């Protein structure tokens, strides 16, 4: 069974990294999956929260920081150290088949993808805490997390099961942190519900 999953993983990696490719994705995935690309989004979220809920919403900011810390440390310091799986771009048996789109192959282990864990953890936390305020726009965070995770395979630094496991782990952590936040604290009342509704 495990050998079958491993073979499927290798084959799907090869398809995503080498076959299902085009120049547009080649140009955009390297920067799309880079953490620094999304600093403006994080700043927007901070401003959005503070403008609509006031300074009492600092607990939301604190909990999303806690959430990202948990997802990152659990994936990097616990699961990766247990699994000890080499990245495809560092595996001697795979490296000749990898189409590497970055100028380096990250250090550390491959399973799970911390990018997938962190971004799905954030997406689920944001969804669970803000969905009643943001309507269908909130689902874009899942698209954001999914495309960043897919990009990790596309550029050659992770296998599909790495990002799948990361997405599952991150989603569970994000849900649990959001559940605690919503039950124990929760967002304060909107500063101006009428203005918020007009801006959606």
**Environment class of 29 (CB within 10 Å of its CB; exposed 0-12, middle 13-18, buried 19+):** buried
* pLDDT tens, N- to C-terminus, the chain (200 residues): 778 888 899 999 999 999 999 999 999 999 999 989 999 999 999 999 999 999 989 999 999 999 999 999 999 999 999 999 999 999 998 888 899 999 888 877 999 999 999 999 999 999 999 999 988 999 999 999 999 999 999 999 999 999 999 999 999 999 999 999 999 998 988 876 654 544 44
Cβ–Cβ < 8 Å for 162, 112? yes
Contacts of 76 (CB under 8 A, 6+ apart): 108, 114
């Amino acid at each position: 069974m495990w050998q079958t999953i491993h073979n499927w993983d290798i084959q799907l990696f090869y398809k995503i990294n080498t076959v299902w490719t085009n120049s547009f994705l080649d140009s955009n995935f390297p920067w799309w999956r880079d953490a620094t690309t999304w600093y403006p989004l994080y700043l927007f979220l901070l401003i959005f929260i503070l403008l609509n809920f006031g300074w009492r919403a600092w607990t939301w900011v604190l909990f999303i920081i806690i959430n990202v810390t948990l997802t990152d440390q659990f994936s990097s310091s616990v699961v990766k150290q247990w699994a000890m799986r080499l990245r495809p771009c560092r595996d001697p048996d795979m490296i000749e088949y990898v189409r590497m789109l970055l100028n380096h192959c990250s250090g550390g282990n491959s399973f799970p993808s911390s990018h997938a864990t962190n971004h799905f953890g954030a997406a689920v936390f944001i969804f669970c805490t803000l969905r009643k305020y943001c309507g269908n726009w909130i689902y874009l965070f899942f698209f954001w997390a999914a495309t960043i995770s897919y990009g990790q395979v596309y550029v050659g630094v992770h296998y599909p099961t790495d990002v799948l496991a990361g997405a599952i782990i991150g989603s569970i952590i994000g849900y649990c942190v959001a559940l605690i936040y919503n039950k124990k604290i929760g967002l304060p009342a909107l500063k101006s519900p009428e203005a918020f509704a007009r801006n959606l």
